[in-house]
Amino acid sequence: MATPAIEAVDVSRTYQLDGVSVPALRGVTLTVAAGDYVAVIGPSGSGKSTLMHLLGGLDRPTGGRLVLGGREVGSLTPPELATLRNETIGFVFQAFHLLPRTSAVDNVALPLVYRGIGARQRRERAAAVLGRVGLGHRLHHRPNQLSGGEQQRVAIARALVTDPTVLLADEPTGNLDTVNGQAVLALLEELNTESGVALVMVTHDNEVAARARRRITMRDGVVVADSAADDPPADSAAVPDGPAAGGDADPTAGDGTERAEAAR
């Protein structure tokens, strides 16, 4: 098997708040294989957001060993960490985090700016990825001219444009209605299946989590349950035939909506 996308060994993160040490993570050990589909669940305050920040290279652990894309995070400087994020991680946020006053194609092209790619090539690649998420007809729309579901798909395109090894999604459906949420979820799952990008998704929606191939449950800064550990054969198996809950429907934008409606 190829090198894991993420490898965490006894990782901890302690915050200093007014001189008081507040442990948010207390020794988390987990491995995310390339192309895996993992849901991280747990109540608020369980440390799942902190874990996401660490796995995304936005933050560095205060203890333990964390390897992203073959590099030990703890030893990297902020600029090196920025480059690592650019090359290996794609983020999808609950609040989309698109730049206002900036067209969809330029929003998607943004990570390529920090890779030093020329403007024309940036736009070409961004347009191609937007086409892939079903927004080929919305290239020059600004975020406020797009629906919530479309905005999240622009954000997904932005996460994908750099060909990352891991897609980190933090409550990606949290700000969407059921229909759009289902569509976005279907899109993420399709990308995971087709391009082999590992998908790690934080959610507190059990229904969403149930669709993942693997579920990690957090509580009080530690992993209390990991379906991979509970049921290793299922997880070490090859990638299943399709999205866990998507059936055989074609999960493009419009179809996603239809399928969600059909599912009711």
Q: Give the residue, chosen from 91, 156, 208, 253, that forms a contact with other proteins under the rule CB under 8 A.
A: 91
What is the total count of residues that contact other proteins (CB under 8 A)? 27
Q: Give the residue, chosen from 111, 149, 181, 256, that forms a contact with other proteins under the rule CB under 8 A.
A: 111
Q: Give the residue, chosen from 44, 78, 137, 233, that forms a contact with other proteins under the rule CB under 8 A.
A: 78
- Of 136, 53, 139, 52, whose CA–CA distance to 104 is shortest? 139
Nearest to other proteins of 162, 203 (CB atom): 162
Query: Minimum distance between the CB of residue 214 and other proteins, rounded to whole angstroms?
Result: 24
* Cα 6 to Cα 89, 170, 256, distances in angstroms: 10, 17, 30
Query: Minimum distance between the CB of residue 91 and other proteins, rounded to whole angstroms?
Result: 5
Q: Interface with other proteins includes 172 (CB under 8 A)?
A: no
- For residue 58, how many C-alpha atoms fall within 13 Å in the half-sphere facing its CB? 10
Query: Minimum distance between the CB of residue 141 and other proteins, rounded to whole angstroms?
Result: 17
Q: Give the residue, chosen from 1, 2, 16, 116, that forms a contact with other proteins under the rule CB under 8 A.
A: 116
Q: Interface with other proteins includes 79 (CB under 8 A)?
A: yes
Q: Interface with other proteins includes 171 (CB under 8 A)?
A: no
Nearest to other proteins of 55, 253 (CB atom): 55
From residue 131 to residue 170, the character string flagging contacts with other proteins as x (rule: CB under 8 A) and all else as - is ---------------------------x---x--------
Which residues make Cβ contacts (< 8 Å) with residue 203, sequence separation at least 6?
Answer: 39, 40, 41, 171, 172, 173, 174, 209
Query: Minimum distance between the CB of residue 4 and other proteins, rounded to whole angstroms?
Result: 22
Which residues lie across from 66 on neighbouring strands? 8
Query: Minimum distance between the CB of residue 187 and other proteins, rounded to whole angstroms?
Result: 19
Query: Minimum distance between the CB of residue 55 and other proteins, rounded to whole angstroms?
Result: 12
Q: Interface with other proteins includes 60 (CB under 8 A)?
A: no
Cα angle for residues 185, 175, 248 (degrees, 5° grid): 15
- The residues that touch other proteins, with contacts defined as CB under 8 A, are 53, 56, 58-59, 78-79, 82-83, 85-87, 91, 93, 97, 99, 101, 110-111, 113-119, 158, 162
